[in-house]
Structure 1
Amino acid sequence: MDLGATFTAAAVCRAGRADVVAFAPRAAFVPSVAFVNPDGSLVLGEGAEQRAATEPDRVARQFTRRVGDGTPLRLGGVSMTADALTARFVAHTVGTVAGMWGGPAAGVALTHPAGWGQHRLASLHAALAAQGLGSTVFLTGAQAAAHAYAEHVPVAAGELVAVYDLGGTGFDAAVVRRLPDGRFALAARPEELEVGGLDFDELVFDHVRRALGDQWTGLDPADPAMRTALARLRRECTLAKEALSADTDVQIPVVLPGVDTRVRLARAEFEELIRPTIEETAATLYRAIDAAGSAPADVPAVLLTGGSARIPLVTQVVSEILGRPVTVAPNPKGDAAIGAALAIGGLDADEPAARMTEEPTRVVLRAAPAPAPVRPPVPVALAAPTRPAAKFGLSRTVAAAAAVATGLLVGGGIMLASNTGPTGAEADTKLPSPTRSTEQTVTTTPPTTTKEKKAAAETPRRTAEPRRTQVEEPLPEEPANTEQTEPPESTTTTPPDTTTTTPTDTTTPTSPESPENPEDPPAEEPADPGQAERPQS
Structure 2
Amino acid sequence: MPYVLGIDIGSTNTAAAVARRDGRTWTRPEAVPLNAGSPLVPSVLHLAEDGTLHIGGPATDDGSRTTRDFVRRIGDDVPLLLGGEPCAPQTLTAELAAWVVEQVHAAEGGPAEAVVLSHPASWRPYRRELLHRALVDLGLRSVTLLPRTVTVAESHAAGGFAGTTAAVYALGGASFEAALVRRTPRGTYESFGTPQGLDPIGGADFDELLAGHVRTVLSRELAATGRREHHAALRGLPAECDRVKRALTVELAADVVLSLPTGPARIPVTRAQFEAMVRPTVQATVDLLLRTVHGAGLAPTQLDGVLLAGGSARIPLVTELITAALPVPVEVQPDAQLTAATGAASAACQVVSPRPRPPAPVRDPAPVSGAGRASIPAARRPRDRTTDPGAPPPRPPVRILPLDLPKASRLALTLSRGREG
- Shorter-chain TM-score above 0.5: yes
The alignment partner of 1:334 has SS state of helix
Structure-2 change in CA distance of 1:235 and 1:81 (3 Å) = same
Measured in 1, the distance between the counterparts of 2:212 and 2:60 equals 20
Alpha carbons of structure 1 residues 292 and 153: separation in structure 2 relative to 1, 3 Å = farther
Aligned with 2:274 (options 261, 270, 285) = 270
Aligned counterpart for 1:98 among listed residues 102, 105, 128: 105
Aligned residue in 2 for 1:69: 76
Change in 2 beyond 3 A, CA 1:76/1:109: same
Unaligned runs of 5+ in 2: 1-6, 355-396, 402-421
Contact 2:45 2:53 in 1 (8 A): yes
Shift of 1:182: 1.7
Instruction: Report if aligned partners of 2:182, 2:192 keep a CA contact under 8 Å in 1.
Output: yes
Q: Which residue of 2 aligns with 1:175?
A: 180
CA distance in structure 2 between the partners assigned to 1:71 and 1:230 by the alignment: 34
One of 25, 38, 43 as aligned partner of 2:54: 43
| 2:308 match | 304
For structure 1, the 5+ residue unaligned runs are 356-537
Do structure 1's residue 315 and structure 2's residue 353 form an aligned pair?
Answer: no
Q: Give the 3 Å change call, closer, same or farther, for CA 130–275 of structure 1 in structure 2.
A: same
Shift of the alpha carbon at 1:270? 0.3
* Deviation sequence 1:274-307 (CA, Å, 0-9, x none): 0111111111111112223221122112111111
Question: Taking CA–CA contacts closer than 8 Å with sequence separation of 6 or more, which of the two structures ends up with the larger relative contact order?
Answer: 2
For the 8 Å contact 2:179–2:196, the answer to whether it is kept is: yes
| Amino acid corresponding to residue 198 of structure 1 in structure 2 | A
Q: Which runs of structure 2 are paired with 1:280-429 in the superposition (5 Å)?
A: 280-348=284-352, 352-353=398-399
Is the 2:249–2:314 Cα contact (8 Å) retained in structure 1?
yes
The aligned residue for residue 415 of structure 2 is: none
**d(CA) in 1 for partners of 2:120, 2:233:** 33
The one of 26, 42, 67 aligned to 1:31? 42
Q: Which has the larger radius of gyration?
A: 1
Do the aligned residues in 1 keep the contact of 2:114 with 2:351 (CA within 8 Å)? no
Q: Is the 2:46–2:55 Cα contact (8 Å) retained in structure 1?
A: yes
What's the secondary structure of 1:74's corresponding residue? strand
Q: Secondary structure at the match of 2:337?
A: coil
State the partner residue of 2:160.
153
Q: Give the Cα separation in 2 of the matches to 1:113 and 1:217.
A: 43
**8 Å contact kept, 1:233–1:255:** no
2:168 pairs, out of 148, 163, 186, with 163
TM-score (norm 2): 0.77
Q: Is the 8 A contact 1:36 1:78 kept in 2?
A: no
Q: 1:230 to 1:119 in 2, by over 3 A?
A: farther
Is the contact between residue 176 and residue 198 of structure 2 (CA under 8 Å) also seen in structure 1? yes
Partner of 2:205: 199
Letter of the aligned partner of 1:72 in structure 2? P
In 1, the alpha carbon distance for the partners of 2:279 and 2:261 equals 33
Is the alpha carbon distance of 1:349 and 1:152 closer, same or farther for their aligned partners in structure 2, counting shifts above 3 Å?
closer
Whether the 8 Å CA contact 1:304–1:332 is kept in 2: the answer is: yes
Q: Is the 8 A contact 1:53 1:227 kept in 2?
A: no
**Structure 2: distance between partners of 1:296 and 1:173:** 14
Change (3 A) 1:87 1:164: same
Deviation at 1:349, TM superposition (A): 8.0
How is 1:81-96 mapped onto 2 (pairs within 5 angstroms)?
81-96=88-103
Q: How much does 1:56 deviate?
A: 4.6
Aligned partner letter, 1:176: V
The code of the aligned residue for 2:331 comes to T
- Matched pairs, number: 347
| Counterpart contact for 1:136–1:353, Cα < 8 Å | no
- The amino acid across from 1:245 in the alignment is T
Contact preservation (8 Å) 1:155, 1:178: no
Encode CA deviations 1:479-519: one digit per residue, 9 max, x unaligned.
xxxxxxxxxxxxxxxxxxxxxxxxxxxxxxxxxxxxxxxxx
1:2 aligns with 2:8: yes
Q: 1:52 to 1:74 in 2, by over 3 A?
A: farther
CA distance in 1 between partners of 2:299 and 2:274 (Å): 31
Once residues 321 and 349 of structure 1 are traced to their aligned partners in structure 2, the CA distance between those partners, rounded to angstroms, is 38
- Superposed displacement of residue 22, structure 1: 2.4
Report the CA distance between 1:242 and its aligned residue. 1.1
* Aligned counterpart in structure 1 of residue 145 of structure 2, from 126, 138, 143: 138
**Does the CA contact (< 8 Å) of 1:115 and 1:190 recur in 2?**
yes
> Aligned pair 1:185/2:182, yes or no?
no
Contact 1:107 1:349 survives alignment (8 Å): no
Task: Report the Cα offset of residue 96 of structure 1.
Answer: 0.6
Asked if residue 115 in structure 1 is aligned to residue 122 in structure 2, the reply is yes
SS of the aligned residue for 2:398 comes to helix
Q: How has the CA–CA distance of structure 1 residues 154 and 321 changed in structure 2, closer, same or farther, with 3 Å as cutoff?
A: closer
Amino acid at match of 2:398: P
- Normalised to the residue count of structure 1, the TM-score between the two structures is 0.61
Maintained 8 Å contact 1:35/1:52: no
* Matched letter for residue 178 of structure 1: R
Amino acid at match of 1:270: F
Distance 1:55 1:100, change over 3 A: farther
In 2 relative to 1, CA 41–78 (structure 1 residues): closer, same or farther, beyond 3 Å?
A: farther
Rounded Cα–Cα distance in structure 2 between residues aligned with 1:321 and 1:100? 45
RMSD in angstroms over aligned alpha carbons? 2.3
Structure 1 CA distance, aligned partners of 2:132 and 2:350? 21
Amino acid aligned to 1:183 = T
